[in-house]
Amino acid sequence: MHLAFCSIIVFIFVCSNQGHQTMKVAIIGAGPSGLISAKYCADAGFDYDIYEQTGAVGGTWVYTDKTDLDENDLPVHSSMYKNLRTNLPKELMTFGGFTYPEELKRSYLYQAEVLQYFENFTKHFHIDEHIKFFSYVKQIESLTNGKWLVKLLDVKSKTETEHIYNVVMVCNGHYEKPFIPDIKGASGFEGMKLHSHAYRIAEIFTGKTVLIIGGGPSGIDISRLLSKVALKVFLSHRNVIPIKLPNSVYLKPIVKEIFKNSVVFNDGTEENIDVILYCTGKVIYKHMYLTQNNNPMYNKIRYLINVKINFDMTNCKTCKKTANFTL
């Protein structure tokens, strides 16, 4: 599994002039980042709302058959596939103070078990009471008074609303667009080509000869699944594969050139291929709903990876004097 939540990345927009008021926080996204952010906001006494464009918590851990647009014509961000198994033990994949059920003895879990953990976490800390499902964030604007205007679209009713917050926490991930390497001859390949973002089930590759490009966690895990149904699976990689793969998975060096129905590798070998599956990751995308609006507060973005956040709440009568938490 190429996505774990032991390292949370969040963008935070802070209003520097709080005055005597309750800290109002908007959290965008009800995935792992959004849920743990909500828990700490609650601990600090903040008033918060979570805006989630789908109808479920869990973010990328929610499985859907759809790969392009969802039922509301919004982009599908999740790359979750059936029978995905984590590449990290659950002991390293927990939020502080909330463990997996004791009866779950295995360390390496499947997608449904991880998703259940998030759902249990949400209910246990009453976070579900603050989630506004099917709420699409159209725009975030910095105001002249240092606060933030959040413009929303209800994707079901198509109604638009606006709300003002002291803090906006952008927790909907930062990888979206699949990365496809530029390989000579790839445009002329006549077989099936797809990225792992669009991979969902192994059965459609039954009897096929599949080339997986990329030896990271996704490439390794998907090769394991395809080996049960495909005729052959070739795994093209740059680095040492850390685990033993099934006998029907054949390791290959990087691809040199792609032809109509075959692929030549750097070692000079050539194999006939039916399907090319790119397990080559994603690129960072731009949050299109953010507007600079010529306001210096736009530059108050805090890009966080496992760091402690400190909000000085001295002037906030309804909050604790300070709020310290680690993401």
Q: Looking at the structure, tell me whether residues 109 and 15 fall in a common domain.
A: yes
65 has pLDDT over 60: yes
Q: Looking at the structure, tell me whether residues 229 and 168 fall in a common domain.
A: no
Q: Is 167 inside any structural domain?
A: yes
Report residue 307's pLDDT band, with 50, 70 and 90 as the boundaries.
very low
CATH number at residue 277: 3.50.50.60
pLDDT, position 88:
87
- How many structural domains are present in the chain? 2
Query: Which is higher by pLDDT, 170 or 300?
Result: 170
Q: Which of 21, 47, 51 is nearest to 145 (CA)?
A: 21
Q: Is 1 inside any structural domain?
A: no
Q: Looking at the structure, tell me whether residues 94 and 54 fall in a common domain.
A: yes
Average pLDDT over residues 152-175: 90
**pLDDT by residue (tens digit) across 231-262?**
999 999 988 888 889 999 999 999 999 999 99
Q: Is 317 inside any structural domain?
A: yes
Average pLDDT over residues 68-82: 82
325 has pLDDT over 60: no
Q: Looking at the structure, tell me whether residues 121 and 143 fall in a common domain.
A: yes
Q: Looking at the structure, tell me whether residues 254 and 269 fall in a common domain.
A: yes
Query: Taking CA 179 as the corner, what is the angle to CA 203 and CA 34, rounded to the nearest 5 degrees?
Result: 85
Q: Looking at the structure, tell me whether residues 262 and 147 fall in a common domain.
A: no
Q: Looking at the structure, tell me whether residues 278 and 228 fall in a common domain.
A: yes
Q: Is 271 inside any structural domain?
A: yes
Say which amino acid occupies 243: I
* Residue 127 main-chain phi, psi, to 5 deg: -70, -30
Q: Looking at the structure, tell me whether residues 257 and 292 fall in a common domain.
A: no
**Non-local CB neighbours of 198 within 8 Å, separated by 6+ positions:** 67, 68, 178
pLDDT, position 291:
57
Mean pLDDT estimate for the chain: 83
**pLDDT by residue (tens digit) across 221-233?**
999 999 999 999 9
Count of H-run helices and E-run strands, the chain: 3, 22
User: Is the overall model pTM greater than 0.85, yes or no?
Assistant: no
Q: Is 2 inside any structural domain?
A: no
> How far is 234 from 38, CA to CA, in rounded Å?
43
Q: Looking at the structure, tell me whether residues 246 and 317 fall in a common domain.
A: no
Residue 17 domain boundaries: 9-174+285-326
Q: Looking at the structure, tell me whether residues 250 and 290 fall in a common domain.
A: no
DSSP label at 126?
Answer: T
Q: Which helix (H) or strand (E) holds 265?
A: strand 262-265
Average pLDDT over residues 199-214: 96
